[in-house]
A and B are shown apart, each in its own frame.
Chain A
Amino acid sequence: NAGVTQTPKFRVLKTGQSMTLLCAQDMNHEYMYWYRQDPGMGLRLIHYSVGEGTTAKGEVPDGYNVSRLKKQNFLLGLESAAPSQTSVYFCASSYSGLAGGINNEQFFGPGTRLTVL
């Protein structure tokens, strides 16, 4: 099993350009998440999905869009990149996300380092 994979690993964009980050998991997990990590800010949740065809906003959703057309994939899009979106982006997945459910441990991908000039 590959676990959670992310594509690409690194990317440099110019302000105003668009791009899509791809996250894939092969663990048949229902829940998937996109985070950004900035120095001194910890992890901040951008968007998440509780199942195929569903998405929901997290803590910092502005400037990002997501789609979950297939259970195993979760895409994060930047329509018009800004320097403030320079960050490391992590995708994660879990079997469930609900309180009272079984282990909701999240498994993380290796990250995408994005620089917007």
Chain B
Amino acid sequence: ELKVEQNPLFLSMQEGKNYTIYCNYSTTSDRLYWYRQDPGKSLESLFVLLSNGAVKQEGRLMASLDTKARLSTLHITAAVHDLSATYFCAGQGAQKLVFGQGTRLTINP
């Protein structure tokens, strides 16, 4: 059964710094999804990674997938306050996505 683990679960960082959120999964998952959730809001799709070596970028966020290492990363470049949110990764399970616990990211001025 697929299990997905994110780390760190909490991350506080300063504006302008770079950091990476890691998403490890336990069994084969040929695709990986990243979502963002603002406080009190729903989940918004950020990236869909469909194959090994896939890399996608949107603004200051870049996501990558290494299916051999069973690892996806979400890299934040020169963080700004607007990126403060909770980020979830999800792997492809049988008939459903399996979500990680979420990483609560706080970016301080």
Contact = CB atoms under 8 A, between A and B. Distances in A.
B100 to A, nearest CB: 7
A56 B95 contact: yes
Most chain B beta-carbon contacts within 10 A, residue among A103, A105, A110: A105
Given A31-B95, A97-B95, A97-B96, 9 more contacts: A41-B101, A42-B88, A48-B95, A56-B95, A92-B43, A105-B45, A106-B90, A108-B35, A108-B43
Interface in A11-52: 31, 33, 41-43, 45, 48, 50
B97 interface: yes
B94 A99 contact: yes
Interface of B: 29-31, 33, 35, 41-45, 48, 50, 88, 90, 92-97, 99-102
A58 B42 contact: no
Contacts of B101: 41-42
Given A103-B48, A104-B31, A48 B42 contact: no
A90 B41 CA distance: 10
A112 to B, nearest CB: 11
B92 A90 contact: no
A79 to B, nearest CB: 24
B97 A104 contact: yes
Given A90-B42, A105-B33, A107-B45, A42 B99 contact: yes
Contacts of A99: 29-30, 92-94
A92 B88 CA distance: 15
B17 to A, nearest CB: 25
Contact of B99 (A43, A50, A100, A109): A43
A43 B35 CA distance: 12
Nearest to B90: A106
A48 B45 contact: no
28 contacts: A31-B96, A41-B101, A42-B88, A42-B99, A42-B100, A42-B101, A42-B102, A43-B88, A48-B95, A58-B96, A97-B96, A98-B94, A99-B29, A99-B93, A103-B31, A103-B50, A104-B33, A104-B92, A104-B97, A105-B48, A106-B33, A106-B90, A106-B97, A108-B43, A109-B42, A110-B41, A110-B42, A111-B42
